[in-house]
Amino acid sequence: MRIKHHFRDIAGQVENGEVHYKFRRQACCSICHSKNQLERHHVFYGDKRSIAEKYNMTVWVCHDCHRGPNGIHFNEPLDLSLKQAFQRKFEKDYSHDEFIKEFEVNYL
């Protein structure tokens, strides 16, 4: 299977629930649109981090939206909405069956 979007300095940006890939220099925080302290968040992490790495399922977010008190790592609905956006994008690029094969879970 050909892997799309695999570049070092590129990550997804979510706009209106849709994932677009952008270079860091063009990116802003996916959540608050700040350009300060951009960090790359792995949309699927823990035991799924390596799959996120493989398909470049990462997103640009500022430090506050990432690790802050209401950031992705502490905000379940926000975390889930990102996972859903990236699952939809993956299914567009590949297929639903391939998502389930890789992740063994359905977020939609």
Interface residues toward Zn ion, by CB under 5 A = 29, 31-32, 34, 41, 62, 65
Report which residue type is found at 26: Q
In the complex, the smallest distance separating the C-beta of residue 20 from Zn ion, rounded to whole angstroms, is: 17
Distance in angstroms between the alpha carbons of the first and the last residue of the chain: 23
In the complex, the smallest distance separating the C-beta of residue 86 from Zn ion, rounded to whole angstroms, is: 13
In the complex, the smallest distance separating the C-beta of residue 56 from Zn ion, rounded to whole angstroms, is: 14
Q: What residue spans of the chain are helical by DSSP H?
A: 49-54, 63-67, 76-93, 96-103
Considering the complex, state which of residue 34 and residue 75 has its C-beta at the smaller distance from Zn ion: 34
In the complex, the smallest distance separating the C-beta of residue 31 from Zn ion, rounded to whole angstroms, is: 5
Q: Nearest 5 degrees, angle CA 91-CA 29-CA 7?
A: 55
Tell how many helices (H) and how many strands (E) occur in the chain: 4, 4
Considering the complex, state which of residue 14 and residue 99 has its C-beta at the smaller distance from Zn ion: 14
Considering the complex, state which of residue 66 and residue 89 has its C-beta at the smaller distance from Zn ion: 66
